[in-house]
Structures are given as structure tokens and as C-alpha cells.
Amino acid sequence: MTNIEMIRAYGHEQVAYFNNEKAGLKAIIALHNTNLGPAVGGCRLWPYESEEAALFDVLRLSRGMSHKNAAAGMPLGGAKGVIIAHPSEKTEAMFEAFGEAVNTFMGKYYTAEDVNTDTKDADYMLRTTDYVVGRADVSGDPSPFTAIGVFDGIRAVAQFMNGSDSLDGMTIAVQGLGKVGMDLAERLHAAGAKLIVCNNSNREAMKHAVEDLGATEVGRDEIYGVDCDIFAPCALGAVVNSKTIPQFKCKAIAGAANNVIYDDAAGEALKARGILYAPDFIINGGGVINAGQEAFTTYDKENVLKQVHNIYNTVYRMLEESKATGIPEGVIATNFAENRIKNGLDAD
């Protein structure tokens, strides 16, 4: 499949490449859909192995943002930006140039922080563009709100499985201890859950998880096959695939990562194994609910938290419908979101 064919297959309105050698910027911005309003989606910085890999990621992520915003009841479309670089290469000029790239969408795209970018980087973008949400002086870092939503979604999964949303004594395997993953791990620990975590390059985070949260550390590839109640992927996507599904010994998958299921076949295979799935763009929507509010109304933290806590109810609804129909949870969630995108936020 050519790049153009891939773009058409995902249904994007616009995809643009940007190259600013002086600023060290090599980026792609993908605008997926603006039926419900201007598109919101963060700027991810990652050392992709190729431009094709970056395009594949940004197309999936931006489509996921359309689904995420619609499912959360936000009058917003979906988009995403990716910068092809190693985190060590970040500069102020790079993000100023990215802000200029955002301006070319003429208000159709609002960016924000994402993987390997933060509120400081957003401040650099603000020097050249007004189309930034998740500002440090307004809604701030969205990651705590993402963690709150994922935590509530995991509680909903526990309620569905056990008839109680208590996590006390449950074993949860957390893959990824970044800002969201660590926040989630701390919340799970406080709720009485037993943690399993996989090793990564952030040894300070791993040390905190093991020594302070009582987590058990396993190898990076071992995390898929550990005995646990819930597997919580909180790193990059596509980790539920033909290679990992046979390894799973969990009862459910619920985490903060985007695009967790590789394709529809993987979703069907997961369903066939009887493993529950909290759709990723439903459960991890807390961050965009928080930041996205800046794009269309006055920021109100109390209202944001009310919407984030409603993730519990939406996750539970998806699990119930999947049980009743036999349709994979991810398909149900996608249909729910796409119906809203096509027919409006009242089309449930």
C-alpha cells in the first residue's frame, strides 16, 4: 500500500510533511476529521526508524483522536503531529518551527504535549502559534487526568468481572512507567492492587515502583505472559497482536496506551480467548477532556473531572454491550464514535 493509499484508507482530510533544516524539524501533521469541530491532538516526538513508520503512527493516532474526542462528547475533531527526532535532540527552535507548521492549518488543528513533549515545549510553540491547548497557565499537564480516567476505567472492568470495583488484592501488570503509567501505578497501589512492572530505561521510575510501591519487576518481553487479573499497557500501541495474544494470562486489558489492538483480527482473537478489553480511546480520554476544553469554552476543572469520571460508565457500557452481542469491545467503541462523528454528539 502506497502512502497515498494508506491516507485514503484511514479517511484523512489532510496530511502534511514539514522540513525545517535550520530548526532541526522533521515532522508530519495528520488532520483526520473536523466534522464535530476543530481537531485537537498532541505533538509526539519519537526517533522513528523511517518516515513510513512515522506516517503509519500519525495516521493511526490522529484517527484515534477523532474517535476519542467524539466518544468523550467533545465538539472536536481529531488530528496528531509527530516530530521525527530523539528526545536528546529537542530544541526551542524545533518547537517554534512546529508552531509555525500548526499555523498552516489556519485554526483547524490545535496541538498539545504528548509522548516526549511537555508543557515547556508547548510554551515554545506558543511563541509562534496560538493553536495550543494544555497550556501550563490554563489546564496544565493533561497526564494526571489521563491517569484518573484509566484508573476509573480499570475499576469499571473490576466491577464487571467481580461485581465489585474494589482493586484490593488484584494483580495488575503495568507496561510503561512514564508520567501516566507511574501516576496510574501509584493510584493502583493506594487502592490495594499488587503490581507487576517491566524494566525500561528509566531506572529511577523502576526503583520507585519496586521499592515504594512493592512492584515485581519482570523482563520487557515477559510482561505479556505474567499471571495477572488485568494487563495495563501504558507505553506505545499495537501491543495486542498475533504474537502477544497467545501469551496473555490476564482476564482483561485496560491501560493508557493508544491503538493497543493491532488490527480487527487481533480484536477478534482477543474476544475468542475470553479476555475483556476496555477500548483504549475510551479509557484514556481524560487528558484530552482536560486540555481540549481550552479549544471551545472557558476551562472549568470541576466540569472536566465530572466528564473524566464518566469514563467509568462508558467503559462498563462497552463491556455490557460486548457481552450481550458477542461483538469485540473495540468494534463497539469505534462504531459508537463514528456514529457521533457522522450524525452529531447526540447520536448515541
Instruction: Dig out the grid coordinates for 326 from the structure.
Output: 458477542
Note whether residue 137 is domain-resident.
no
If we measure between CA atoms, which residue out of 159, 152, 103, 91 comes closest to residue 286? 152
- Alpha helix stretches (DSSP H) within the chain: 3-10, 51-71, 92-103, 119-125, 143-162, 179-190, 203-213, 264-272, 280-283, 286-292, 301-309, 311-325, 329-343
pTM value?
0.91
Q: Is the pLDDT assigned to residue 218 strictly greater than 80?
A: yes
pLDDT at 326 over 80: yes
- Enclosing domain of residue 174: 143-343
Listed in sequence order, the residues at least 6 apart from 284 whose beta carbon sits closer than 8 Å to its beta carbon are 68, 146, 149, 150, 180, 255, 256, 257, 258
Pair 233, 164 in one domain = yes
CATH of the domain at 41: 3.40.50.10860
The answer to the question of residue 255 being in a domain is: yes
191 and 306 in a common domain: yes
Cross-strand partners of 82: 28, 44
Q: Are residues 116 and 186 in the same domain?
A: no
Q: Please check whether residues 58 and 161 belong to one and the same domain.
A: no
How many domains is the chain partitioned into structurally? Answer: 2
**Residue 278 and residue 326 in one domain:** yes
Return d(Cα 334, Cα 338) in angstroms, integer. 6
Q: Which of 22, 26, 68, 80 is catalytic?
A: 80
Q: What is the structure's pLDDT at 328?
A: 96
Q: What would the pLDDT profile of 23-69 be if each residue is shown by its tens digit? A: 999 999 999 999 999 999 999 999 999 999 999 999 999 999 999 99
Q: What is the mean pLDDT of the chain?
A: 95
Whether 309 and 238 map to the same domain: the answer is yes
Q: Are residues 106 and 151 in the same domain?
A: no
For residue 80, indicate whether it is catalytic: yes
Same domain, 287 and 207: yes
118 and 148 co-located in one domain: no
- The verdict on 105 and 169 lying in the same domain is no
What pLDDT digit, counting tens, does each position of 237-251 carry?
A: 889 999 999 999 999
The pLDDT assigned to 115 comes to: 86
Check whether residue 194 and residue 166 sit in a common domain: yes
Higher pLDDT: 42 or 199? It is 42
* 192 DSSP assignment: T
- More confident: 190 or 345: 190
